[in-house]
Structure 1
Amino acid sequence: MDAIHTTKYLLHRLVITSIISFCLFSCATHKKVAELNTLPPVDLSKAALFTYGQDSMIADDFQFVFFKNNEDSVKALENAALEASINDYLKLYINFKLKVKAAYDAGKHQDPAFIQEFEKYRDQLAKPYMVESRMNEKMVVEAYERLREEIHASHILISMPENTSAQDTLQYFLKADSLRRLAINGKSFAMLAEKHSDDPSAAQNGGNLGYFSSMQMVYPFENAAYQTEVGNISEPVRTNFGYHIIKVLDRRPAQGRVKVAHIMIRHQEGEPQDETSKTYKQALKLYEELQKGTDWNELTERFSEDLSTRSNGGELPYFSTGGMLNSFEDAAFALKEAGEISKPVKTQYGWHIIKLIDRKGLEPLEMLRPLIERKVERNFQQKEMRQEMVAMLKEENRYIANEPMISKSLFYMSSGPELAKPNDMGVLFSISDTVYTFSALLTFLDKNKITLPVDSVRAKKLYQQFEGEQILLYEESHLTDKYPKYSRLVQEYKEGILLFDIMEEKVWVKASADEQGLKNYYQTHKDKYHWNKRVDATILDAKDQQKLDKAIKLLATKPISKSLIEGIEVQLNTDSPLNLQIHKDIYEEGSSRTEAEKVIDQVAWKVGTYDLNYQGRFYHVIVHEVIPPKDKSFDEVKGLVTSDYQDELEKAWIAELHEKYPVTVNELILKQLIQKIQNTNE
């Protein structure tokens, strides 16, 4: 998928999840549902919950969508709150259906661009669903059991192009097998890897992969590793990278997962990446400050160069073995008690100080199931899983092979077109009531630009590929018939894409292109876009009065600039990065600030200088200018105005849709549905 399609796909997903799954919990209060025990039962699988124009929504279908998108968030709700949640979601979902209805009436579902886009999404949905439907449980249980153990292994890779001929494939296999025999007979596996492996990292690590667990390697590699005893070397195993031989060095119980925070100091260009570097020395000083009891969050916010985490104390998500660079991971798992801090640890990115926050053992299967299922789905393209899937579908869908016709076809493919061609309409195999002929095989070969003849091994592989594709395509084409859940999912995505397209036309692009409308909206709502009182100030934040006095003198030598500030900080922080920090900015009344800059609220907002002690530090604050409250200009807030204008256009459009497609909610059906959902939630 190219970048444009990827972006649009992500936007579609955002629209679908934000509109279909969004449920407001802070709306106005709702009337309490009356006692329902006396209501006559209704078949909710057939009853319309609401109508809009000439269309309707079945109650059970609404329940499916509600639970699919809100199940986790509503599990703990009491009945009254759950009722409010259902009503809120219903209002939002009705608006969603009205917009989709407008898209259909505008003919957007017939647009060639939409059809192409939708078919692409449907294809993406089909194969993961098939895996989930057929093989999910087997693979999930296997993966979970393997998660109990971690494997330490080395490998040698003999890489092989994807479309290698059968004869050349044998040569790659024999090379891998010969290296295996050398290793079994006593040659150093690491030396063989350094010399012969096509894995670029082998030259440095001798093929050592460290510890890993289930779902961290491609599936055939994982299988071979878990099936090989410690000290043994596997038979050559083929993956999409080539042939591997794997030596298992160790097995150990899973270490579980850890959550850590870190402070990172990046390597400087041209600087040695060892303990003689300034980067390491700075990291070591920070570590020493932490050992003295200096606040972790303060140092992280001031000095960590991981911009994505420094504002939240350097916290990283939970990870397990194989989830981080080896040196970082080893140091993290070596920490035993929450709050324990490592000495500086080197990675390719710089030096890290790591603090342990929490560690967990292997969670129960049901907690990990969603994660495992997603990873199993990604493995569907693996050859072994594909073959197993095809075999299962053959049995389920009444596959019948015409062996004589298959043999004739293989002979023709490997002997050349000069031989008599089999009957085009000759049946190779059937699936249920669908037959597949020799003509279909020829079409497949032509589509893949296969020139006949090919060798017999290649002919057999091509036929198996053709047969497998047809069986999988048959399954995909019947998914909506066999699985209502899948049918609903496809419909949900179809409507989500239509929603995106109609919103783009009616709201997003319309607002962005209406420059005069934006300016009119800005003028009408000027009071929303306002600067509070502000000050332009410089803050000197020092460890002690002596350092502060030196900084004040140095700052007075030249006009204040970024380069002057950086130079002063470098000069006064030679022995500790905590000696001095200088901040220069425009600060707005009521806006958020870093801990160090909160001192601005402790001084008078008048031009002048102020000295004070605050939170154990010494401060000198220079207020250069006081900027009175004023309206923000249109250019300053154009993005925010555009967003607000879009909201106004959308509200007006929704009102029009309610007039065009009158909505009627069946209160009796709604009450019974609420009761059903409440009972399900208990």
Structure 2
Amino acid sequence: MTGNQRVPGITRIACLLLLLGIGGCAATKKSARSKDADYSLSEAVLFTSAADTVFADEFLYVYQKNRIEDTTVERSPESNQQAMEEYLDLYVNFRLKVKAAEEAGLQRRESFKQELAQYKEQLAKPYLTENRVTEQLIRETYERMKQEVRASHILIEVPENASAQDTLKAYQMADSLRALAQNGASFSMLAEQYSSDPSAASNGGDLGYFSALQMVYPFEKVAYSTSVGNVSNPVRTRFGYHIIKVNDKRPSQGKVKVAHIMIRPDSESDSATYQKARQVHQQLLTGADWNEMVERFSEDVSTKSRGGELPYFGTGNMIESFEDAAFALSAPGDISSPVKTRFGWHIIKLIDRQGLDSLEKMRPSLERQVERNIQAEVRQEEMVSSLKQESDYQANKANIAQAIYYLHAGAQAESAEPDRGGVLFSIADTTLEVGNFYDFVQEKQGALAADSVLAHQLYQDFEATTLLEHEKTHLADNNEEYRRILQEYRNGILLFDIMEQKVWSKAVEDSTGLQQYFENHRETYRWKERAEATILDAQSQDILETAKQELGEINEPLSDEVIAKIESTFNEDTPLALQIHQSKYERGEERSSVEAVIDQVTWEKGAYSRTENDRFYHILIHDVLPPKLKELDEIRGIVIADYQNELDQQWIATLREKYPVEINEDVLQFLGQQTEP
């Protein structure tokens, strides 16, 4: 780990790993070594200072996480031990700086609290039950996408907030229809007669093939879990109760991209429209140009200008007859016979077909769709169930029932208003009371009034919100990995802020100190021999010659405006036709492979030509500058970085003197053995 200058634009936490490398070894007192020692890493003290005590497991976690290991080189136990000791010295410096930040009270600043709170929110997400439920739903959805289901349904409509009596009546109706279907009655006839779905009158309840995310989640879940030929138990969705008959299941067909020619039906004769489509189809089969035929005959104005092309689509996204014809085409370029839909007659050409993408490629899209279409319907129930199991949940069912009853019964309640101090449930060391629930309702809807269904939903929301907030609050207590990561971020913010005060800003703002540092190290900053040159880098000899003619005789470096104008002219059609490089090139410095051509010519004033890697170069050396001392204005950034290094070393020495460090050498030796290959 190297470098301690502040890097422009670097994030605070990205700085953490860089800052662990802030250097300088200082004399450190080490305790005597015991050859036969054995330790519990969580109890063994690795080092102490007047400001800190660090245990072995804490250091080992950071060391193993942050070290960069070259696996191509076999390292000896001695070299591993040395690497650990070097890292420990850096880590000690890091801890001393964090302690200095704490003593300066930086952790009490409002800006620190806000920044840490933001990181805490982000860091917690992967560890929360809510996220685990989302991940389960994503994987479940992807697995279902591998299969398509064809099903019919009968819907008995009932509103979500219907009374208990109406809900029961709808359920019983659905259940009786299921019994009829199981006893041999025609499912399609039952759908035509009883289903609230208007389309059932014409399709007998047949929904065609569908895949995951194309139906509401409870419907999808039951359809995928019901065997082919079977009828499900009634399933409740926001539309009412459904019974589902699964007609078929097949592997996913993936997606296709097609183009089409659409001919709208004649107002008097569909036969005439079909004959026109048939003639167009025959001309295509005998070699007519597809795009010309689209332009002449297609009546789909939205696709006519792009050769009839439609976006990729999968099962359930198009009218069934169109979809079936498209998926029946096997090779790109294949053309279907005329296919009828309610829009007219279509001739379809296959452009491409794709299988199901990998889970990782689909993950961003699936996550958005799951959160939008599924999560709200299932997350709360599954999340609450999980959290109850993990958090020592204890409920007072009588108080819960009374609180919900009074919420919707109000003045008409047959029993007295419940005591606001009555316990509803407890989670570990936290107790939630009736008053907490009513405060939640008041805040959410502004009044303590609700019908029966809403009152139950409000309680479920209160319970879920409370459980999730408790999990977030106690996450660091219950999850060691999260606690360690959060501590790293906390210390990283403090380290960044204290470095800003003690090193970075000080070096930039202390112009007198910077000048003095520069004068004291004047001999360190020297230019080697330099060539002031312009390099024309062309794609061909002809382009190079044309550029030379346009520029004319070049006796001195070109202005930025001239370079931009010339490059723009030559690169209008071909982006890399001509590039112009110009600088003062120092002898022996690292440079790009393109500009390295300067090292292949004699460093004397004049013009030179070279050909390298199929590129053609014209090199103009305007002047050769002898070695000399650098001026501060030429290298201010480099000098500031070096001055920061010196300030940092001085500060570390001060901290080491203020907080003497004692390392338990036998524990360090023991840790080295734990990391040996």
> Over aligned residues, Cα RMSD in angstroms?
5.5
Matched, 1:98 2:123: no
Match of residue 515 from structure 1: 511
2:532 counterpart (532, 535, 550): 535
Offset from partner CA, 1:122-180 (integer Å, 9 cap, x none): 4444443234xx985x9878867987897599xxxxxxxxxxx979xxxxxxxxx9799
Secondary structure class of the residue paired with 1:599: helix
Secondary structure class of the residue paired with 1:673: helix
Give distance in 2, aligned partners of 1:11 and 1:598: 33
Match of residue 395 from structure 2: 401
Give distance in 2, aligned partners of 1:445 and 1:567: 65
Query: 1:414–1:456: 8 Å Cα contact kept in structure 2?
Result: yes
Query: 2:51–2:96: 8 Å Cα contact kept in structure 1?
Result: no
Q: Please report how far the alpha carbon of residue 391 of structure 1 lies from its aligned counterpart in structure 2 after TM superposition.
A: 0.8
1:643 counterpart (641, 653, 661): 641
Query: 2:536–2:544: 8 Å Cα contact kept in structure 1?
Result: no
Q: Please report how far the alpha carbon of residue 463 of structure 1 lies from its aligned counterpart in structure 2 after TM superposition.
A: 1.8
Q: Please report how far the alpha carbon of residue 249 of structure 1 lies from its aligned counterpart in structure 2 after TM superposition.
A: 10
Offset from partner CA, 1:431-475 (integer Å, 9 cap, x none): 345421111113323444633424444333322121112222333
Q: Which runs of 5+ in 1 are unaligned?
A: 1-6, 29-33, 154-164, 168-176, 191-207, 239-247, 255-274, 276-333, 335-360
Match of residue 45 from structure 1: 42
Query: 1:23–1:89: 8 Å Cα contact kept in structure 2?
Result: no
Matched, 1:467 2:463: yes
Determine what percentage of the aligned residue pairs are the same residue: 33
Secondary structure class of the residue paired with 2:602: coil
2:663 counterpart (657, 665, 676): 665
Match of residue 345 from structure 1: none
Q: Please report how far the alpha carbon of residue 588 of structure 1 lies from its aligned counterpart in structure 2 after TM superposition.
A: 0.8
What letter matches 1:15 in structure 2?
Answer: C
- Name which of structure 1's ranges 580-589 and 422-431 shifts more when overlaid on structure 2: 580-589
Q: Please report how far the alpha carbon of residue 640 of structure 1 lies from its aligned counterpart in structure 2 after TM superposition.
A: 2.9
Match of residue 451 from structure 1: 447
Q: Please report how far the alpha carbon of residue 630 of structure 1 lies from its aligned counterpart in structure 2 after TM superposition.
A: 4.6
Matched, 1:410 2:404: yes
Give distance in 1, aligned partners of 2:396 and 2:411: 21
Q: Which runs of 5+ in 2 are unaligned?
A: 1-6, 27-31, 149-159, 163-195, 229-234, 239-248, 256-290, 292-330, 332-356
Query: 1:135–1:389: 8 Å Cα contact kept in structure 2?
Result: no
Query: 1:551–1:568: 8 Å Cα contact kept in structure 2?
Result: no
Give distance in 1, aligned partners of 2:237 and 2:653: 63
Query: 1:148–1:253: 8 Å Cα contact kept in structure 2?
Result: no
1:439 counterpart (435, 441, 445): 435
- Name which of structure 1's ranges 393-402 and 414-423 shifts more when overlaid on structure 2: 414-423
Q: Please report how far the alpha carbon of residue 627 of structure 1 lies from its aligned counterpart in structure 2 after TM superposition.
A: 4.3
Q: Please report how far the alpha carbon of residue 553 of structure 1 lies from its aligned counterpart in structure 2 after TM superposition.
A: 2.7
Give distance in 2, aligned partners of 1:117 and 1:454: 39
Query: 2:400–2:424: 8 Å Cα contact kept in structure 1?
Result: yes
Give distance in 2, aligned partners of 1:184 and 1:633: 87
Offset from partner CA, 1:463-508 (integer Å, 9 cap, x none): 2121112222333444444444444334333333322232222222
Match of residue 387 from structure 1: 381
Match of residue 588 from structure 1: 585
Q: Please report how far the alpha carbon of residue 49 of structure 1 lies from its aligned counterpart in structure 2 after TM superposition.
A: 1.2
Secondary structure class of the residue paired with 1:11: coil
Match of residue 59 from structure 1: 56
Q: 1:72 to 1:410 in 2, by over 3 A?
A: farther
Query: 1:417–1:452: 8 Å Cα contact kept in structure 2?
Result: no
Instruction: Give the alignment of 1:91-490 within 5 angstroms.
Output: 91-131=89-129, 251=252, 382-383=375-376, 384-415=378-409, 421-432=417-428, 434-448=430-444, 450-490=446-486
Match of residue 551 from structure 2: 555
Offset from partner CA, 1:624-666 (integer Å, 9 cap, x none): 3444445554344333333222222111111111101101111
Q: 1:515 to 1:412 in 2, by over 3 A?
A: farther
TM-score by length of 2: 0.58
Query: 2:567–2:578: 8 Å Cα contact kept in structure 1?
Result: no
What letter matches 1:541 in structure 2?
Answer: A
Give distance in 2, aligned partners of 1:386 and 1:597: 61
Query: 2:25–2:89: 8 Å Cα contact kept in structure 1?
Result: no
Offset from partner CA, 1:84-128 (integer Å, 9 cap, x none): 221122111111111122223223334444344434444444443
Query: 2:543–2:578: 8 Å Cα contact kept in structure 1?
Result: no
Query: 1:531–1:631: 8 Å Cα contact kept in structure 2?
Result: yes
Match of residue 13 from structure 1: 13
Give distance in 2, aligned partners of 1:476 and 1:110: 22
Offset from partner CA, 1:284-343 (integer Å, 9 cap, x none): xxxxxxxxxxxxxxxxxxxxxxxxxxxxxxxxxxxxxxxxxxxxxxxxxx9xxxxxxxxx
Alignment length, in residue pairs? Answer: 494
Match of residue 602 from structure 1: 600
Give distance in 1, aligned partners of 2:566 and 2:439: 72
Q: 1:605 to 1:557 in 2, by over 3 A?
A: closer
Offset from partner CA, 1:395-438 (integer Å, 9 cap, x none): 33332333333233334434568976432112222234542111
Q: Please report how far the alpha carbon of residue 616 of structure 1 lies from its aligned counterpart in structure 2 after TM superposition.
A: 4.8
Q: Please report how far the alpha carbon of residue 50 of structure 1 lies from its aligned counterpart in structure 2 after TM superposition.
A: 1.1
- Name which of structure 1's ranges 117-126 and 52-61 shifts more when overlaid on structure 2: 117-126
**Higher RCO (CA < 8 A, seq sep 6+):** 2
